[in-house]
Amino acid sequence: MTLVASLALLGIELIIPGIGISGNIRSTLDQIDFHDTLMTGMLSFLLFAGAMHVNLADLKARRFAIGSMATAGLLLSTALIGGGSWLIFQTVGVSVPFIYCLLFGALISPTDPIAVLGILKTVSVPTTLKAKIAGESLFNDGVAVVVFVILLSLASDNGHATTASGIAILFLQEAVGGVVLGLITGAVAFVAMRSIDEYVLEVLISLALVTVTYSIAINLHTSGPIAVVVAGLLIGNYGKEHAMSEVTHDHLNKFWELIDEVLNAVLFLLIGLEVLALSFSAPILVAALLAIPLTLMARLISVALPISLLELRRSFTKGAIPILTWGGLRGGISVALVLSLPDTPWKDTLVTVCYVIVVFSIIVQGLTISPLIKKLLPENPSLNEDTKSI
């Protein structure tokens, strides 16, 4: 709706030059740091709300599929999109260095957990497949941020990660450090919740858990998204069973569902308005349109390869590959990362291409994933599939 309204404003300005409505909105948007607003503000709450509703037992049972897609699959997608986008930019006559094409691959590869989890609320899918989709979307954005930071360090040539040992240390600091931090802060919150039985205080403890965990992660230079997801999984599973009453659990769920809905509305409002801040040109628009099938093809390969290898030992839900491919929506995380790029001659090009892909993903893929699932899966899919499925 916001995107349509933004395009309508641009249309009005073409008909009535000088009206200045979009200019006023654009000046307001310039005062909002989208990257800081999402990455150091909204994202922590959105990820925690999503992780709280994910069944940890389902994730454990499908850890190999989720882990391979969130790591090896994401790295493969980054390489494919990076190389393919470099060829596209060369073809249309737009000069973008290869390292920045790889950066673009890293920021556009992760599926957006906010968009994906929102879609899962509206469609009926088997438990096994739902766990794969939700688990991958929660973890691959954290891995993508780590890869993005490493590539940005290489592009900036600041010496922090220009060696193999430097890259390894940075990866351990970001990824493993995020897991450890999430376990520690989640455990502290768990003990605090278990010691009392007052839902108002326990809701406040969950809020403190999110803000403190993310703040510590930023200061320790570990992955805040991974830390918050781990803490959310801990509270949403072990906390629900051993640290809170049914009344507290009900209030906690309703509170975080409300937070999730409100922040989602704000996030997609900002994404829709961002079109007013873009600068389009014919070569860049052609590059963006060519990048859409490239991104989908890279997603298909990065999903199909790990699943095909694992399928030699385990069974998967029928239609898993096309559903995981088409359901891999891009969203606010990609927009936030591309806006965090340093001011270079190539930033505006990458921002525009990223935005076109995100809008296509949310509107086209988002509105058609439900019919695709209904077509590929039985009308009443079993929620208790073969336990051998990953």
Ranges of residues in the chain with a pLDDT under 50 are 159, 380-390
Residue 329 lies in a domain: yes
Nearest to 55 by CA among 130, 164, 160, 143: 130
Q: Answer yes or no: is 359 within a domain.
A: yes
Quote the pLDDT of residue 387. 36
pLDDT for the residue 386: 39
Query: Does the residue 230 lie in any domain?
Result: yes
Residue 137's pLDDT is 79
Let me know if residue 225 belongs to a domain: yes
Residue 29 lies inside a defined structural domain of this protein:
no
Say what the pLDDT of residue 194 is.
Answer: 92
Neighbours of 86 (CB within 10 A): 19
Would 6 be classed as within a structural domain?
no
Say which CATH number the domain at 94 has. Answer: 1.20.1530.20
Cβ count near 17 (within 10 Å): 8
Stated length of the chain = 390
Q: Does the residue 147 lie in any domain?
A: yes
Does some domain include residue 19? no
pLDDT of residue 213: 94
- Global pTM value: 0.79
Considering its fold, how many domains does the chain have in total?
A: 1
- Domain limits for position 101: 39-376
DSSP string, 57-117: HHHHHTHHHHHHIIIIIHHHHHHHHHHHHHHHHHHHT----HHHHHHHHHHHSSPPHHHHH
Residue 381: what pLDDT? 43
pLDDT tens-place string over residues 140-169? 877 888 888 888 888 876 545 566 677 778
Nearest partner of 367 among 123, 124, 53, judged by Cα: 123
